[in-house]
């Protein structure tokens, strides 16, 4: 039977922004593959919600810093759901917040490993699978960056801001590289969004409330608001948009 529904693969789809993208994609008629690293229970909950919305689903465990895991994830998702048409490059961490001179090398290395190298491994595999040049069906990639790339995150995590600067460059270059191969590449740059990242990765549970007054819209964003921008860029409504970067940051 020919494939009729588009298939999206979302890295780090078990929680936060990735989970919101998965749920909205299911609502909009996509079949959904989510990757998670450690929290299988959270991934299962997300996929149950997607399934209830009518999507075919699969969860793929894998550490996106490991090249073999990235390839296996694409293989598993394709075997379960058919050719992948959209990839959301979302998995990421910040590392404990602090000034650069006080931050240990392993904290910085872990962040660069997943946010930069991991994202590049995923983008490379997406290019190999989606490009019409390699027999793929075309589609789009959405990279999750951050407004930190232009704000710099002084005193918090400048290494994280730098990692997202790399994502912005990746988006511009890969969009040009894949434009003739049927693949659009765009980014979404969230501002402060209500997820576990602030408590679990940054180690700063009060951060969202503390920063509220610096956000022109005077509130933090919800993951569902970021997901709307991602789904727009994935959709045919964005058919002439590639290399773009949409801030979803309440004006910050």
The residues, ordered by sequence, that sit 6+ positions from 11 with a Cβ below 8 Å of its Cβ are: 18, 35, 64, 73, 87, 88, 89, 90, 91, 118, 122
Q: Does 23 bind ligand NAP (CB under 6 A)?
A: no
12 counts as binding ligand NAP under rule CB under 6 A: yes
Q: Is 74 in the site for ligand NAP (CB under 6 A)?
A: no
Residues labelled catalytic: 160
Cβ atoms within 10 Å, residue 44: 15
Q: Does 91 bind ligand NAP (CB under 6 A)?
A: yes
Rounded distance between C-alpha atoms, residue 93 and residue 110, angstroms? 8
The CA distance from 111 to 152, in Å, is 15
Q: Which is nearer to ligand NAP, 17 or 238 (CB)?
A: 17
* Span from 60-68, 79-87, 175-183, 228-236 in contact with ligand NAP (CB under 6 A): 60-68
Considering only the stretches 32-40, 151-159, 209-217, 236-244, report the one whose residues sit in contact with ligand NAP under the rule CB under 6 A.
Answer: 32-40
Q: Does residue 33 touch ligand NAP according to CB under 6 A?
A: no
Contact between 66 and 120 (Cβ < 8 Å) = no
36 touches ligand NAP by CB under 6 A: yes
| C-alpha–C-alpha distance, residues 129 and 75, integer Å | 10
Is residue 63 near ligand NAP by the rule CB under 6 A? yes
* Using rule CB under 6 A, residue 15 touches ligand NAP: yes
Report the run of H or E that residue 245 belongs to, with start and end.
strand 245-248
193 pairs with which residues across the strands? 221
Binding window for ligand NAP (CB under 6 A); candidates: 75-83, 84-92, 99-107, 209-217? 84-92
- Measured from the CB atom, is 58 or 114 closer to ligand NAP? 114
Which residues does 63 contact at the CB level (< 8 Å), separation at least 6?
37, 69
Which residues contact ligand NAP by CB under 6 A?
11-12, 14-18, 35-39, 42, 63-65, 90-93, 114, 118, 144, 146, 190, 192-193, 195-197, 200-201
């Amino acid at each position: 039977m020919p494939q009729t529904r588009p298939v999206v693969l979302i890295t780090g789809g078990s929680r936060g922004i990735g989970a919101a993208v998965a749920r909205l994609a299911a609502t909009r008629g996509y079949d959904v593959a989510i990757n998670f690293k450690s929290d299988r229970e959270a991934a299962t909950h997300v996929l149950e919600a997607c399934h209830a919305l009518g999507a075919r689903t699969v969860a793929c465990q894998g550490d996106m810093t490991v090249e073999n895991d990235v390839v296996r994830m694409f293989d598993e998702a394709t075997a379960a759901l058919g050719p992948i048409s959209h990839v959301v490059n979302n998995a990421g961490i910040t590392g404990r917040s602090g000034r650069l001179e006080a931050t240990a090398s392993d904290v910085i290395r872990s962040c660069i490993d997943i946010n930069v190298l991991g994202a590049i491994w995923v983008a490379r595999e997406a290019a190999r699978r989606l490009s019409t040049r390699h027999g793929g069906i075309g589609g789009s990639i959405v990279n999750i960056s951050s407004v930190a790339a232009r704000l710099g995150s002084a005193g918090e995590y400048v290494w994280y801001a730098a990692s997202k600067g790399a994502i912005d460059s990746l988006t511009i270059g890969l969009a040009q590289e894949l434009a003739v191969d049927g693949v659009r590449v765009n980014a979404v740059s969230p501002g402060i969004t209500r997820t576990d990242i602030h408590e679990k990765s940054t180690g700063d549970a009060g951060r969202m409330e503390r920063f509220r007054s610096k956000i022109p819209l005077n509130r933090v964003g919800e993951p569902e608001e970021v997901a709307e921008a991602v789904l727009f860029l994935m959709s045919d409504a964005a058919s002439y948009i590639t290399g773009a970067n949409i801030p979803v940051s309440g004006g910050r």
